[in-house]
Amino acid sequence: MTEQPGRRLLLVHAHPDDESINNGATMARYAAEGAHVTLVTCTLGERGEVIPPELAHLTGAALGQHRRNELAAAMSLLGVRDVRLLGGAGRYSDSGMMGLPDNDDPACFWQADVDEAAAHLVEVIHEVRPQVLVTYDDNGGYGHPDHIQAHRVAMRAAELAAETGWRIPKVYWNRVPRPVVEEAFARLREELPGTPFTKAAAVDDVPGVVPEERITTVIDGTAHAAAKAAAMRAHATQITVAEPCFVLSNELAQPILTTEYYELVRGERGTGERETDLFAGIGEAS
C-alpha cells in the first residue's frame, strides 16, 4: 500500500466528460493547492453521441479510445495527474441511455456485478487512502444507468474498504441548488443571443438539482473558471463550449457553473453554516 501524505480526494465518474462538467473547478482548485486528486472513470463512453461532423465516424471502441485521449487532455488542463479506468481500460463498456437494448449487453457497466466492480475500486482506495470521496446520488444525478451504477459501486467500495482497512472520512454527492441554477438560467436567457446557440435547456435538464437546504458544501471555483471551460472544451466529441455556456448533443444551452455544490452524506461536517472546503474538519495526518 502506497502512503499518500496530505489531502487526498477521490472522484468516481461514469464517462469521460462527466468529471469536467460536474467537478472541473473543484478538481482544478485542489490540484493547484497540492492535494492528491484521483479520478476513476468507469467506462470510456463508447455509446456517446458525437457532436462534430468531422468526428461522426467514431463509434464503439474507436470512440472510446478517442474519448480516453480527450479525458487525458482535460485532466492535464485541470492539473490532475492520477487518472484511472475502473478495472483497466475496456473492463466495463458504456451502457447507453436507460431503457435501450444497450442496457442488456453483458459487457456493459449496468450489467456488472456491483461487488466485483467495487473490488476494483477498493484496490484504488487502499492505495490512495482518500479522505474525501465524491460521486453521484442514488439516481446518478439524472437517471443514466452508468451514473446510477457508478454511485452503487462507489458507495459499496467505501463500505468494503472500511471493512478491510481504510474508512473514507467524508463522502459527498454532486448537487446543484435549485435557486442557483434558476438564477443562472435567467442570466443565460439574456446572454443567449450573443452565443452560437439558439435555445436554452431547462433547469430540470441539469443533473443533481435539489432544494437549497440539501447543500452542505460550496466550493468557489471562480479562480479556476478558465481551466474548467478548457477541460470541458477538450471533450470535443461530447461538448461544445461558448463561455459562459455549453451544449451537449441535444444543442440546448446550459450555464457553466464555476461554483460547485455538494451534499455530505457520510462523515462529520466542518464548522459553520456551510462548508467551503471538502476537507473541513480533517487533519492532514488522517
Known binding-site residues equal: 15, 18, 147
Are 26 and 176 in contact by the 8 Å Cβ rule? The answer is no
Say how many C-beta atoms besides its own lie within 10 A of residue 99's C-beta: 9
From the annotation, which residues make up the binding site for Zn(2+)? Answer: 15, 18, 147
Q: Which residue has the cell 435567467?
A: 186
Helix (H) or strand (E) holding 255: strand 254-255
Distance separating alpha carbons of residues 189 and 233, to the nearest angstrom = 21
Short-list 176, 171, 154, CA closest to 22: 176
Are 66 and 17 in contact by the 8 Å Cβ rule? The answer is no
Distance separating alpha carbons of residues 197 and 253, to the nearest angstrom = 6
List, in order, residues 6 or more apart from 80 with CB less than 8 Å away.
27, 31, 37, 39
